[in-house]
Structure 1
Amino acid sequence: MTMLSLLSMRARIEAGSLTPAEAVALTRDAIAEHEPSIRAFVATDPDPHVPDTGPLSGIAVGIKDIIDTAHLPTQMGSSIYRDWQPRADAPIVARLKRLGAVPLAKTTTTAFAFIDPTETRNPRAPGRTPGGSSAGSAAAVAAGMLPLALGTQTGGSVIRPAAYCGVVGVKPSFRLLPTVGVKCFSWTLDTLGLFAASAADAAHALALIAGRPEIDQPATVPRIGLLIPDYCEAAEPEALEALDRARAIAEAAGAGIRAFTLPDEFRHAFDEHATIQDFESAQALAWEYETHRDSLPPLLRAHLDTSRTIEAAAYDAARRVAHHARRSLRDILRNSDLDVLLTVSAPGRAPEGYASTGDSRFNRLWTMMGVPCVTVPVPGEGPPLGVQVIARFGDDARALVAAKFLEKAFTDRP
């Protein structure tokens, strides 16, 4: 399976060797070939409108199925919303259309973006989970069925499946992209993100979608803080080996790298992610729980049973911890001589089997901090492994510049 490059497709369109309609037809052919075994989609547009103009004309996009689309059902991964048809596009979908992109398909999501697995399979690691909850978007890009797909992250649902499927995933700074029209799980944490074949593709797409051209900059040599997390259970040896391999390649390419550690307060902040997420999810899904509890999948149902017992005082205390940790991280990074942090994207390779979507423990803290994160696949044998680039809040450009540097260093390695 060869992944589709957004930039390559756009270059061919601009050169006149490929029309936008032909570009979309290529993706539809790839879907016809691979979708029966990957199962990344819940709906596709049988007769898509393909604009002839726009900076993303000819680019077919996958839309995670918790994001409203006026032309396709939005079913939340749940029988409760089977065949539900919104009247309007979410702003993020409307923005894609204005840019000339084609929202071609709805990608699978775990029910309400929690952790009950989907039917999607991992194109790059057969027999292993593609992750969650944006499994369909990650798998669709990994299988070469789409050049771009949208996902969301409340814990680790962009970075983790991207790492498991061997693609680039971007979780932008909190609120860079609008979550209006996206089914809420936690309004403090939910963040829209992107999946693409390369960091260059992702940077170009994010700059256009966000309307911030400064995000897409050429790769430069970064100053990197190497973070081996100690605020939670340790990563598996293979993940740490991939991180060390990335470090060695980056150093050989000229990057300055030094060890970086977080103060103990971040261990406490990490622990409070669950309090915030769980308290808010009980309210966000109150109607579904109270009127359709028996239709909820087992893991989500049990989660909401427990989440409804969290008291407001505990939630308020957790929010204060998160607020102080965000300010502390801002100051730490501002006063350092570092451009980005480099750490693991996931505990290890995608777990075998389909009973679990994996573990988001190396993503949750950064989601709560609201900072931009990019995962880049690390070269090596076996199922995919990735490393995670983290920058200061609002400095999405720096995160993507460093990701481009790593990507090129990995490609150019001896």
Structure 2
Amino acid sequence: MTESDLAALTATDAAARIASGAISAEQYVRACLARIEAVEPEIRAFVHLDPGYAIEQARRLDDHRLQGKPLGPLHGIPVAIKDIIDTEDYPTEFGSPLFAGRRTRSDAALVAKLRAAGAVIIGKTVTTEFAYFHPGKTRNPHDTDRTPGGSSSGSAAAVASGMVPLAIGTQTNGSIIRPAAFCGVFGAKPSRGLVPRTGVLPLSPTLDVAGPFARTLPDLALALEAIAGYDAGDPDTRPPFAVPNFRAFAAEDFPIEPRFAFIRTPAWDKAEPATQQGFEQLADKLGENCIRIDLPELYADAWDIHRTIMSAEMAHNLGTIVDRGGDGVSEVLRKLVADGRAVTAVQYQRARDEAREMAQSLEGYFEHCNAIITPAAPGVAPMGIDATGNPVFCTLWTLAGLPSLSLPLLSDEDLPIGVQLVGAPNDDARLLRHAKWLIGKVAQGPKKEKRRRSK
């Protein structure tokens, strides 16, 4: 196998080959590092990378296997980590020069889980400033003149460009689903409380979640299974329980054909014509397996409710940093903090109550369907790298705390359009099974290889 062939392996395939001894963890990591060396100068997905240290981790894992010790499901698999997630062996700088060189003494809970599963923590990926809207340096692998999305821009681009098979991001509005859609990869925003956020920069604890990016659905399930679970440091995680076998659900055939609801939210007019046409055609293709629903206008308040909660909580968590940061803080973040400080306690509590009521009312739609289909973003990745795109199609589902996936099933002129699949509360495992069925239904022969464009 050539280095290119090795780097192209999925995490699932590579883990099986490493476990069997067909390849070594070091070989696989070296192949990924060679791919990084080839494309990173153009894509700029990483903020911290130490090839020597990555190889050292791989060698230790190879020694572990040769000693006959038990192997984790990610043994030898390189995983990239968003730069708002603490790692004891790499700096965590929050995408801000104010925290250049910041070090922590421990891993975030989800990073510790990855290491326990045998992963190689290969480096830290670019985030927007404090995971908000001010963009970083990363370029979209499909067209370097376009945004990769945000805030998990580096994680999505690293996976999409073949540098790593898996990466971890976070979402407070649309920061996993949107970049996954723009970069044409799979992304999972788990149910709130499934993945611990201990050691992750808190922005808006009511809304924050962490989740994986991958190039295949089985790989997405593999990563999700590794990072899910209880942690005492995160009060939103559920008491200790057996993590569902996400890999089994992602591989399982549906016992009966699922039913989907193609939902047009009050933001439907924000979708580009190609997106609207693509989703109408997708609903037609699903036929009797799909119902069409237009959400009533009472849901139009979701975007203001989300903004109220997010701005107030981010002002609480980041306000002191903004005050002390001077010119080192972007104007867009300053405005958000100012808006958050203007939110009264009554407004904040009312918004929290309205969010809960809205989430409960959305649960009723799952009495008529197994999962919801809706756009992941207005369209393809916009031109320009000075913005990260509009998260308008993620806001409602993030506010409700529902699990969602971005599936690279549609395209416009060879650029990806993400299909967002939304599940019932805490139904993350079965959502993967719904996704498998949908992918099989949509597939029409071999997928055309995307071409990367630049000037």
Whether TM-score is above 0.5 comes out as yes
Give TM-score, length-normalised by structure 2. Answer: 0.86
**Structure 2 letter corresponding to 1:277:** M
Aligned to 1:355: 386
Decide which of 75, 79, 83 is 2:93's aligned counterpart.
75
Among 275, 280, 302, the residue aligned to 1:239: 275
**2:167 is aligned with 1:135:** no
Percent of residue pairs identical = 40
Q: 1:100 to 1:44 in 2, by over 3 A?
A: same
> 1:343 is matched with which residue: 351, 370, 374?
374
Query: Counterparts of 2:22 and 2:12 in 1: how far apart (Å)?
Result: 14
Q: 1:219 to 1:301 in 2, by over 3 A?
A: farther
After superposition, the CA RMSD in angstroms is 1.8
Q: Distance in 2 between matches of 1:279 and 1:388?
A: 27
Q: Equivalences for 1:299-314 in 2 at 5 Å? A: 299-314=332-347
In the alignment, the residues of structure 2 paired with residue 285 and residue 208 of structure 1 have an alpha-carbon distance, to the nearest angstrom, of 30
Any conservation in 2 of the 1:133–1:157 contact (CA below 8 Å)?
yes
Q: Is the 8 A contact 1:171 1:193 kept in 2?
A: yes
- Asked if 2 retains the 8 angstrom alpha-carbon contact of 1:138 and 1:161, the reply is yes
Partner of 1:205: 223
Aligned to 2:415: 383
Q: What are the residue-to-residue correspondences of 1:217-366 with 2, within 5 Å?
A: 217=249, 218-220=252-254, 221-231=257-267, 233-251=269-287, 256-333=289-366, 336-366=367-397
- 1:8 alignment counterpart: 13
Matched with 2:207 is: 189
The secondary structure found in structure 2 opposite 1:47 is helix
Count of matched residue pairs: 409
**Residues 37-94 of structure 1 deviation map (CA, whole Å, 9 limit, x = unaligned):** 0000000133121224321011100100000000000000001100111111000000
Q: Distance in 2 between matches of 1:352 and 1:4?
A: 30
User: What is the aligned partner in structure 1 of residue 435 from structure 2?
Assistant: 403
Amino acid at match of 1:301: R
Deviates most, 177-186 or 208-217: 208-217
1:47 matches 2:53: yes
CA deviation vs aligned residue, 1:257-288 (integer Å, no higher than 9, x gap) = 11123344322233210000000000010220
CA separation of 1:379 and 1:316: change in aligned 2, threshold 3 A: closer
Q: Are the equivalent residues in 2 in contact too, given 1:151–1:193 (CA < 8 A)?
A: yes
Match of 1:20 in 2: 25
Q: State whether residues 312 and 339 of structure 2, in contact with CA within 8 Å, keep that contact through their aligned partners in structure 1.
A: no
Consecutive unaligned residues of structure 2, counting only runs of 5 or more, are 66-70, 230-242, 447-455
Q: Name the structure 2 match of 1:109.
A: 127
Give the letter aligned to residue 178 of structure 1.
Answer: P
Whole-Å Cα distance in 2 between the matches of residues 264 and 3 of structure 1? 46
**Counterpart for residue 60 of structure 1:** 78
Q: Give distance in 2, aligned partners of 1:65 and 1:349.
A: 25
Residue 379 of structure 1 and its aligned partner are, at CA, apart by 4.2
- Say if 1:16 and 1:126 are closer, same or farther in 2 by CA, change over 3 A: same
Cα deviation code 1:173-213 (max 9, x no counterpart): 01100111111110100110110001221012212332523
State TM-score, norm by structure 1.
Answer: 0.94
Amino acid at match of 2:22: S
| Secondary structure of residue in 2 paired with 1:285 | helix
1:241, distance to aligned residue in structure 2 (A)? 2.1
- Aligned mates of 1:256, 1:325 — CA distance in 2: 26
Counterpart-to-counterpart distance in 2, 1:317 and 1:28: 50
Q: How far 1:232 sits from its partner (Å)?
A: 6.0
SS of residue in 1 equivalent to 2:53: coil
